């Protein structure tokens, strides 16, 4: 799996270098920047979910580097490499103390997609975006978690289905352009996997004798901020050093 991830990153780097190698007489279309934000993730629905348990949204963070190559005045190819904190939260509503188990782990997301822009005016725009993501989780093949180590009322056994898998994303953003043609966006993006991330076995009640299964697909809702630097600004300023 690590070899696959390295192959994807190497191919992406080769493509990005090719995109940036443009005629100096033209303004470059390539923009590079950063993004940061919060994401919400949880387990999938289950028909065997007991009435005294509820699944909750788990809040995590995401940050990384991103880029945009404009193929026209209102469309571009987006790419990046993001560290995303994912997971889930399960709550036992009958417990007064330590009623939940919160699971979190880091993953590396490498997205590639198309973004379309519609201008409100010369500075402001809205963006619709979609694409695919290569996801790699930083975690073991199995683990277990309890709500309380001394007085365990329920336990989750987690079994990884796969740590490397494809995902897709859909999103919407509002943004603007600065005086020096840098670009910023505030947006919402939903990312979902094309396969199962992990299976969970929840044990509860006296002696942990009762059990029910859950699935975790690895999807999340992201609310964040992106900023893109116009690389032509750096090329123009380089003339001062000659």
For 195, half-sphere exposure in the C-beta direction (CA atoms, 13 angstrom radius) is: 13
- Give average pLDDT by consecutive 10-residue segment, the chain, 242 residues: 51 48 52 96 83 92 96 93 97 94 97 95 93 96 95 96 96 93 95 94 94 94 96 63 43
- DSSP state letter for 27: -
Residue 229 has φ and ψ, to the nearest 5°, of -95, 130
Stated pTM of the model:
0.82
Give pLDDT, residue 129.
97
Token pair for 201 = 């076995």
* Alpha-carbon gap, residue 227 to 129, rounded angstroms: 16
Question: What integer pLDDT is reported at residue 11 of this predicted model?
Answer: 52
**Residue 234: what pLDDT?**
75
What is the model's pLDDT at position 73? Answer: 85
Distance CA 54, CA 90 (A): 6
Handedness of CA 105, 106, 110, 112 (dihedral sign): positive
């Amino acid at each position: 799996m690590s070899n696959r991830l390295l192959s994807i990153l190497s191919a992406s780097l080769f493509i990005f270098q090719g995109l940036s190698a443009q005629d100096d007489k033209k303004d470059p279309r390539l923009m590079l920047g950063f993004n940061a934000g919060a994401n919400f993730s949880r387990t999938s629905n289950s028909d065997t979910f007991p009435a005294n348990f509820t699944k909750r949204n788990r809040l995590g963070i995401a940050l990384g580097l991103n880029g945009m190559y404009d193929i026209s005045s209102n469309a571009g190819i987006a790419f990046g490499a993001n560290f995303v904190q994912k997971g889930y939260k399960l709550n036992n509503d009958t417990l007064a103390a330590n009623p939940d188990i919160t699971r979190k782990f880091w993953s590396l997301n490498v997205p590639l997609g198309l973004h379309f822009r519609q201008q409100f005016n010369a500075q402001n725009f809205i963006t619709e975006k979609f694409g695919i993501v290569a996801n790699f989780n930083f975690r073991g093949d199995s683990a277990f978690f309890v709500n309380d180590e001394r007085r365990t009322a329920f336990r989750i056994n987690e079994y990884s289905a796969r740590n490397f898998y494809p995902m897709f994303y859909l999103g919407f953003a509002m943004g603007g352009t600065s005086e020096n043609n840098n670009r910023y966006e505030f947006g919402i993006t939903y990312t979902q996997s094309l396969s199962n991330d992990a299976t969970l076995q929840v044990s509860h009640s006296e002696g942990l004798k009762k059990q029910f299964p859950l699935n975790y697909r690895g999807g999340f809702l992201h609310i964040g901020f992106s900023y893109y630097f116009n690389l032509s600004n750096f090329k123009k300023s380089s003339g001062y050093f000659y």
